[in-house]
Amino acid sequence: MEQTDLRVPAPATVVRPATPRQRAARAARNGGEPTLDFADRVPYDAYVHASTLHRLQQPLSDDPGEMSFLMVSQIMELYFGLTRHELREAQRCLRADRVRAALAPLRRAALHLEGLNAAWKGLRWMTPADFNRFRNLLGEGSGFQSAMYRHLEFTLGLRDAALIRPFRRQAEVHAELRATLAAPSLWDDVVALLARRGFAVPAEVLGRDVAEEHRPHPAVEAAWVAIYDDEEAADEEAGDGETTGEEAGAGGPGDELRLLGEALAEVAEQFGDWRWNHVKAVQRTMGAKVGSGGSAGLAWLQRSMARVVFPELWSARTAM
């Protein structure tokens, strides 16, 4: 069946730009009241496609709780895509050596992940009995099969080529996942940046196959230790009365890299929280039952938690 691309609005629904003068004139004509008459679809719906979004829920049962499960899952999908969008923007900045420009999308990504974590709260009402009322109707459907979540994991550096196999019958989705897997992760771009900034990152780290998951390396860890040591040295100089701590932090050579490290740590921490919240949600609603998608369920999720995002950024803290 041919699918319609919902991202492309029909000509009649195009949002028409308005200048500040036009907005002021409209408010004057309306006497300060909202506009109530439009020639076409309301501009808000033309931009947000809210009517489309609210037609995407198709529960499989009559159980009222299923709508909550379905919509929270869809909300999470949107957050996966939004977070990935921000991380890709950060990658573009890092590849151009615009470290400070990369901080804004990274900080936005961390906030989006906060929203993603908050979405779990909408399912805290669900007991095993609640889930069992419609779980069988999901068949083999599982969150494990989320293509956008795989894009997000691959972008963060958690890589396993086998995980794109479920999509090989969906040619476009499969090709997009292969492209993400073949491109450097955010952590790969960070490590390359460190090398360009003079840190001794070995050639085997820089030239490795990026489709494989990054293995922690002592040289990358040492780079982060040096970056944070530079901050300590700046603070000690400030303590001598030559400058303030704020001035030292703003001007030290490692400052923007330290800020980058902190922004990355926040992203990693929020993403780790999401994975842990997933474990707790599964434990609460189905215990140790096998997963819908064929996995061991809770046990499989618990094992996956051992894989760490931005590993040297965390291990370096032991040596600081």
With tokens 């701590």, the residue in question is 245
Distance from C-alpha of 154 to C-alpha of 84, rounded to nearest angstrom: 10
- Sequence-distant (6+) residues with CB within 8 A of 122 are 68, 71, 72, 75
CB 59, CB 67: distance < 8 Å: yes
| 278 marked as part of a ligand binding site | yes
Q: Based on C-alpha coordinates, what's the Rg of the chain?
A: 24
Distance from C-alpha of 254 to C-alpha of 231, rounded to nearest angstrom: 7
With tokens 């699918």, the residue in question is 3
Distance from C-alpha of 190 to C-alpha of 167, rounded to nearest angstrom: 29
**Helix, strand, coil shares, percent, the chain, to 5:** 65, 0, 35
Binding-site residues, in ranges, read 135, 278
Binding site members for substrate: 135
Annotated binding site for heme: 278
